[in-house]
Structure 1
Amino acid sequence: MRTSVLLALVPAVQGLRIIHSNDDGWAELYTRSFHDVLVAAGHDVVLSAPAENKSGTGSSDAEPSIRTTACQYNSCPAGSNSPIGVNATNPRLNWVNSFPVTSMRYGIDTIAPQFWNGEPPELAVAGPNVGSNLYLQVPFSGTIGSSVFASKERKVPAIAFSGVSSGTLPWNTSPVPQRSLVYAQLAGKIVDAVIKGGAPYLPEDVFLNVNFPKVEGQCTDASKFKFVLSRINLGWFSAPDVQTCGSTRLPIDLSVVNSSGCYVSISVGDANDKTTAPAEKQAVVLAKLKSLLTCLP
């Protein structure tokens, strides 16, 4: 039932090689729900994420250490005595006993090429994170850190997804709560829009920072959500943003997700410093996603 529902809500697009990571751990439900959406849409997806929750570790990167204890939610047995591991029934689900950035690095350089005849990923995604990554949270987020690494160090277009509705849950939770399904469907819709915009999917050294509002009240159906181009930092002293919605100053992501209504913020991030990318790069993203985007009331 879950897979059929997800497939019905995510339009078919050209399948890509996608590397997937997060900072909440490889067995976290939000991540697995999104993974299901990507597979259902026809993508060749490889998950490479931390063996346990590594939230708030930013861009930390260290070689993985030998794992002796069980992974998060007992998702791998104690005594594996390995720095990396794989799901016994699905080899495209992998854990790395280190930070999110390390997991993304191993995924791109070591794990995924085994499935893709040595080819690199065409897109990198992270999350959805359990909880938001807005404004001042951005520099400390491992979800952001892994996306920035993919974009800046490996030149792979990258999208970081986060959801305000919090509450960690294991991959095998049943029934799957609505928030996990909705966030997965919304993330799939954005991936679809980015791909339909054509290659190159994003400008160089850019990542998208996407934040979903709470799944509650009127916002419990993916079809009810709207998408707004935003910025990460306030920008009081920044150059003008791309002109859209009658302004040359984009709304900050925090104000978008806190607005009345079901608004998703999509910020064009600069992978060099995790702030807002300049107007010329915003303009490229705006053109690609124009049919998806709306203005705040």
Structure 2
Amino acid sequence: MRAQLLTSVLLALGAHGIRILQSNDDGWAEQYIRVLHDKLNNAGHDVILSAPAENKSGTGSLDVGPSPRTSACEYDSCPAGSAATGNNATNLRLSWVNSFPVTSARFGVETFGPQLWDGQAPELVVSGPNVGSNLYLEVQFSGTVGIAVYATHDVGIPAIAFSGASDGRLAFDAPVETRSIVYAQLATQFTNAVIDSGVPYLPEDVFLNVNFPKVTEECTDPTKFKWVLSRINPGTFSEPDVKTCGITRLPTESSVVGADGCLISVSVGDSKDKTTAPAEKQAVILEKLRGLLSCME
């Protein structure tokens, strides 16, 4: 009866609950990822979290087998002397891996997910929100982006990398701050929009790099934010981008996030080299998300 009721509610809302694997590079006990975990589950999705045991920012696409812990996990979220991987004692959907971000995502795809999804793989990978932006050159070294690239390029699962300019680390059990809530609301809205656009969610070898601006007094209401299609690298000598807003050169994500107003950059990334995907793949995303995307004013 409960499952039937949930299905009815999702259909009424136009949403489609799917299997989502969450990961990040800031650690499994970081507040941003935990608040988003709750929001995605509350939106009707079947979400499993598999992330590093501690902060592993800036480790890109490194993937090394995990080893046992000698010290406690970040924020004392697991005891010293723990095994190489582990779960929350009361919630098996929250897992940690004592290694790099990509390794933690791989364990989610190969081990934790199938254990709880009757052998099935995730339908979407959501990485982040990262504590701090991932723009231009930072993309090459970002573990948050590395997870999305692993998912899309290595195992063929669509992926979104979220990052927020409001930084400063927060523990999972600390009072929930406004920025955590705002980023979780926005990431859930965007994730639902991608899902509602239909399968395949993304073109082959494409990830989405989404950067939120700082949460300020003017930018706390999710309805006040605008989503702008952007590019990762400047592209001075590259081929033209998809034509939108009357131009054939998309603004860089840095210029979008740095502009006045509550603007969010949405870049179509190439999973082969972590730069901007070509115009034909940008066009697919533009069409899928046309109802969400706006022009820079």
Does TM, scored on the shorter chain, surpass 0.5? Answer: yes
SS of the residue aligned with 2:40? helix
1:252 aligns with 2:252: yes
What residue number does 1:196 align with? 196
> Does the Cα contact within 8 Å between 1:22 and 1:146 map onto a contact in 2?
yes
Matched, 1:39 2:13: no
- Structure 1 pair 112/194, CA: closer, same or farther in 2 (3 Å)? same
SS of 2:256 mapped into structure 1: helix
How far apart are residue 110 of structure 1 and its match?
1.1
| Counterpart-to-counterpart distance in 2, 1:68 and 1:113 | 28
Aligned-CA RMSD value: 0.8
Alpha-carbon distance in 2 for matches of 1:217, 1:275: 33
Does residue 1 of structure 2 align to residue 13 of structure 1?
A: no
Letter in 1 for 2:135: L
Alignment check: 8 A CA contact 2:231 2:276 kept? yes
Query: 2:62 maps to which residue?
Result: 60
Contact kept? 1:108, 1:120, Cα under 8 Å = yes
- Distance (Å, rounded) in 2 between the aligned partners of 1:68 and 1:137: 30
Q: State, as a whole percentage, how many aligned pairs show the same letter.
A: 65
Unaligned runs of 5+ in 1: 1-10
Q: After TM superposition, give the deviation of residue 111 of structure 1 in Å.
A: 1.1
Structure 1 ranges of 4+ moved more than 3 A? none
Shift of 1:12: 6.1
CA contact (8 A) 1:12 1:41 kept: no
Distance, in Å, in 1 between the alignment partners of 2:45 and 2:220 is: 26
When normalised by structure 1's length, the TM-score is 0.95
Aligned-partner Cα distance in 2 for 1:206–1:36: 26
Distance across 1 between alignment mates of 2:41 and 2:179: 19
User: Structure 2: which amino acid aligns with 1:212?
Assistant: F
For residue 80 of structure 2, the aligned residue among 39, 63, 78 is: 78
- SS of 1:161's equivalent in the other structure is strand
Corresponding residue for 2:271?
Answer: 271
Question: Who is 1:120 aligned against?
Answer: 121
1:230 matched to 2:225? The reply is: no
- How many residue pairs get aligned? The number is 285
Deviation at 1:245, TM superposition (A): 0.4
- Alpha-carbon distance in structure 1 between the residues aligned to 2:246 and 2:258: 21
Could you tell me which amino acid in structure 2 is paired with residue 103 of structure 1? S
What is the aligned partner in structure 1 of residue 162 from structure 2?
161
User: So what's the TM-score if we normalise by structure 2?
Assistant: 0.95
1:115-144, CA deviations, whole angstroms, 9 ceiling, x for partnerless residues? 111111100010000000001110010000
Describe the SS at the equivalent of 1:92.
Answer: strand
What CA deviation, in whole Å up to 9, does each residue of 1:155-186 have, x standing for no partner?
00000000000010100111x11100000000
